[in-house]
């Protein structure tokens, strides 16, 4: 019975943690629940870096602090045991005399990596770990990928027609605008996705054909850092991404061709892959996630080099009969969602 209760309360931790998706970088998503006599006595979640951690908010929310001495505390990620912008959560748990700690995933970052649970055990706490481990790791997949693979978590996104095309053939004089395959709900969802990521990438072809802003207009949240990959350095004279607000980075082999104001330009080494160099640059910059909304060449480059973790593909219901073929993706389908104008499939790279 206790194991089932642990699962129920860990699910609540995950629900709480997910409320702050996209807001806590560079910190992970964390939710915490205090349970006394089988009932939730307090709960909370980490909102942003520099603010109180989930365990602190949950403990402070308990009305009668004496109940902490006979309670369990749940958290989807191992409590921290080091001083950062805030004191260690393990110290507060120990000083609050909470006897039982139930954790989801182990924090594999260098600063924690099991030290939090070890200090709790050393203080005499009963420690249970690994509850809903897979779900807990997936929620913080960006955080874990960054620390374990030393690169950002990379998500690909595209929409294709019912007969497998990304776009129609754009003839000379074609207006510069997106060719929509999906409907309004899907557009809102994509903006929600953008708000959850730290950076977003397109290729020069998409910049020339669609000239997108790549910001969050249909959702509440932070705009991601906007990135363009252009091997040739050839871009439109008027670039929407050059308009504030937000940061923008251009990766190119020919930086001398780029003369936009207030845009960082990074020169690519012709001997290395663009995907690898971009990933390395973003890792060194502390960027944990990259969302790619590019065209065929950009998508195929990241797919062929293996630099992708997740792909979100909308399959439209209208045929184009001709155009630019969509890339092929091999991965495990983890979810499917139907919309009035499309079917969304989410793949993970195993």
| Domains, the chain, ordered by start | 2-140 (3.40.140.10), 150-227+271-348 (3.40.430.10)
- Who has greater pLDDT, 239 or 131? 131
User: Hey, what are 115's tokens?
Assistant: 């030290």
Local confidence band at 112 (pLDDT 50, 70, 90 cut-offs) = confident
pLDDT over 70 (residue 151):
yes
pLDDT of residue 160: 95
In sequence order, the 6+-apart residues with CB closer than 8 A to the CB of 324 are 165, 166, 167, 168, 169, 295, 296
pLDDT over 60 (residue 257):
yes
pLDDT digits over 4-36, tens only? 999 999 999 999 999 999 999 999 999 999 999
pLDDT of residue 302: 97
Token pair 């061709």 is found at 257
pLDDT over 80 (residue 179):
no
Q: How far apart are alpha carbons 335 and 188 in whole angstroms?
A: 18
Q: Which residues are catalytic?
A: 55
pLDDT of residue 174: 56
pLDDT over 90 (residue 131):
yes
Does residue 46 contact residue 17 with C-beta atoms inside 8 Å? yes
For residues 263-271, average pLDDT = 91
Coil vs helix vs strand at 129: coil
Provide the pairing of β-strand 100-105 with 126-128. parallel
For the chain, the average pLDDT equals 91
CA of residue 335 relative to chain centroid, distance? 17
């Amino acid at each position: 019975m206790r194991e089932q209760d642990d699962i129920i309360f860990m699910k609540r931790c995950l629900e709480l943690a997910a409320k702050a998706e996209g807001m806590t970088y560079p910190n992970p998503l964390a939710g915490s629940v205090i349970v006394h006599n089988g009932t939730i006595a307090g709960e909370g979640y980490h909102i942003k870096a520099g603010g109180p951690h989930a365990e602190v908010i949950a403990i402070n929310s308990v009305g009668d602090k004496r109940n902490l001495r006979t309670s369990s505390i749940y958290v989807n990620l191992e409590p921290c045991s080091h001083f950062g912008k805030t004191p260690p959560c393990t110290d507060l748990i120990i000083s609050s005399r909470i006897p039982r700690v139930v954790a989801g995933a182990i924090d594999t970052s260098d600063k924690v990596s099991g030290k939090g649970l070890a200090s709790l055990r050393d203080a005499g706490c009963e420690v249970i770990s690994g509850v809903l481990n897979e779900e807990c790791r997936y929620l913080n997949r960006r955080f874990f990928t960054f620390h374990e693979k030393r690169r950002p978590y990379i998500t690909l996104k595209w929409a294709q027609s019912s007969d497998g095309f990304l776009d129609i053939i754009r003839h000379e004089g074609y207006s510069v605008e997106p060719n929509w395959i999906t409907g309004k709900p899907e557009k809102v969802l994509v903006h929600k996705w953008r708000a959850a990521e730290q950076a977003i990438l397109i290729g020069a072809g998409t910049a020339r054909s669609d000239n997108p802003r790549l910001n969050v207009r249909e959702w509440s949240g932070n705009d991601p850092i906007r990135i363009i990959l252009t091997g040739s350095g050839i871009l439109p004279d008027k670039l929407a991404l050059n308009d504030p607000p937000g940061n923008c980075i251009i990766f190119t082999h020919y930086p001398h061709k780029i003369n936009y104001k207030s845009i960082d330009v990074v020169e690519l080494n012709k001997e290395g892959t663009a995907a690898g160099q971009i990933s390395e640059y973003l890792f060194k910059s502390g960027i944990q996630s990259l969302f790619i909304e590019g065209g065929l060449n950009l998508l195929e480059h990241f797919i062929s080099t293996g630099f992708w973790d997740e792909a979100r593909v909308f399959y439209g219901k209208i045929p184009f009969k001709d155009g630019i073929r969509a890339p092929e993706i091999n991965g495990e389908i983890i979810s499917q969602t139907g919309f009035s104008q499309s079917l969304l499939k989410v793949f993970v790279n195993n």
